[in-house]
């Protein structure tokens, strides 16, 4: 039985795991519609930017990281050096360092390979839904099993929907004429992703500076303007952050 292989042989533990897993799926369900659209767009954008269908499939299945994928596409298309693509990937993914640092207390007791597996499946949606739930409804100490399987429920939902929609986009994208300007959908998707992140003085200042510097340095060789823009943005954001902190203290 696949059920037994998935959830284990002891009936009461299997039941608890299955319930927690289903609970995770239920919680993630409403977010899956948006995720489907986002995956579809990413799939189309990958083949429209010049990746072959196999490369696009490989990227989707291996990375499972929409914003990093979308961010890398214009760089790959513009023949940027690989290290610039990797640096961009790292910067766009830096939020996962923060997310998984937040998840660590809940998964501390698990063996290393499982912690790594849960980390691999961590995305914006799974982090947001799980931690917000766990901080508002703290489970008793013995609830770690429920937490893990609840998290797995969320992640299995996001992973399957992401891959199915990406694959659909990859195969649909090839049939859509380039003149439709679908590459602009990827920019709009990034826009929708970044706007909720830009909240609070430091981030607003940093993003403004990063945007302006990116435009001014757009002609720089090797797409280095992007690197300079990000560094300038972070520096300004940190400066504003420190400034606001000091003003707070003086009040």
Considering only residues 47 through 86, tell me which ones interact with other proteins, judged by CB under 8 A: 51-52, 55, 58-59, 62-65, 67-68, 71-72, 74, 76, 79, 82, 85-86
Q: What are the Cα distances from residue 11, in Å, to 141, 142, 167, 212, 222?
A: 21, 18, 37, 60, 59
Under rule CB under 8 A, residue 33 binds other proteins: yes
Exposure letters 225-240 (e unless 16+ CB within 10 A, then b)? bbbebbebbbebbeeb
Q: Which of 14, 172, 207, 222 binds other proteins (CB under 8 A)?
A: 207
What backbone torsions phi and psi does residue 176 show, to the nearest 5 degrees? -95, 125
Q: How far is the CB of 105 from other proteins (least distance, A)?
A: 8
Under rule CB under 8 A, residue 215 binds other proteins: yes
Under rule CB under 8 A, residue 131 binds other proteins: no
Exposure letters 83-95 (e unless 16+ CB within 10 A, then b)? ebbebbbebbeee
Under rule CB under 8 A, residue 194 binds other proteins: yes
Under rule CB under 8 A, residue 190 binds other proteins: yes
Residue number with CB closer to other proteins (1 or 112): 112
Residue number with CB closer to other proteins (10 or 235): 235
Distance from the first to the final alpha carbon of the chain: 65
Cα–Cα nearest to 63, from 32, 31, 85, 37:
85
Q: How far is the CB of 192 from other proteins (least distance, A)?
A: 4
Under rule CB under 8 A, residue 44 binds other proteins: no
Under rule CB under 8 A, residue 170 binds other proteins: no
Under rule CB under 8 A, residue 198 binds other proteins: yes
Burial class (CB in 10 A: 0-12, 13-18, 19+), 215: exposed
Q: Which of 98, 128, 160, 243 binds other proteins (CB under 8 A)?
A: 98
Residue number with CB closer to other proteins (59 or 152): 59
CA angle 99, 105, 111 (to 5 degrees): 100
> Interacting stretch for other proteins, rule CB under 8 A, among 5-13, 16-24, 168-176, 177-185?
177-185
Under rule CB under 8 A, residue 34 binds other proteins: yes
């Amino acid at each position: 039985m696949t059920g037994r292989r998935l959830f284990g042989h002891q009936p009461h533990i299997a039941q608890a795991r299955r319930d927690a897993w289903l609970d995770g799926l239920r919680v993630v369900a409403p977010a899956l519609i948006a995720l489907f659209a986002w995956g579809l767009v990413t799939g189309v954008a990958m083949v429209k930017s010049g990746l072959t269908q196999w490369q696009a499939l490989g990227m989707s299945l291996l990375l499972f990281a929409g914003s990093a994928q979308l961010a890398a596409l214009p760089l790959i298309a513009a023949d940027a050096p690989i290290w610039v693509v990797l640096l961009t990937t790292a910067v766009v993914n830096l939020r996962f360092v923060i997310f998984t640092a937040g998840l660590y207390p809940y998964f501390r007791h698990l063996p290393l390979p499982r912690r790594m597996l849960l980390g691999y499946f961590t995305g914006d949606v799974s982090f947001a839904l799980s931690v917000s739930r766990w901080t508002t409804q703290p489970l008793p100490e013995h609830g770690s099993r429920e937490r893990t399987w609840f998290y797995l429920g969320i992640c299995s939902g996001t992973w399957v929907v992401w891959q199915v929609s990406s694959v659909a986009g990859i195969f649909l994208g090839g049939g859509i004429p380039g003149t439709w300007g679908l590459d602009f959908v990827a920019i709009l998707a990034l826009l929708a992703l970044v706007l909720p992140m830009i909240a609070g003085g430091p981030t607003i200042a940093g993003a403004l500076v990063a945007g302006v510097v990116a435009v001014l340095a757009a002609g720089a060789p090797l797409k280095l303007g992007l690197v300079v823009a990000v560094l300038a943005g972070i520096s300004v954001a940190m400066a504003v952050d420190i400034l606001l902190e000091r003003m707070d203290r003086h009040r």
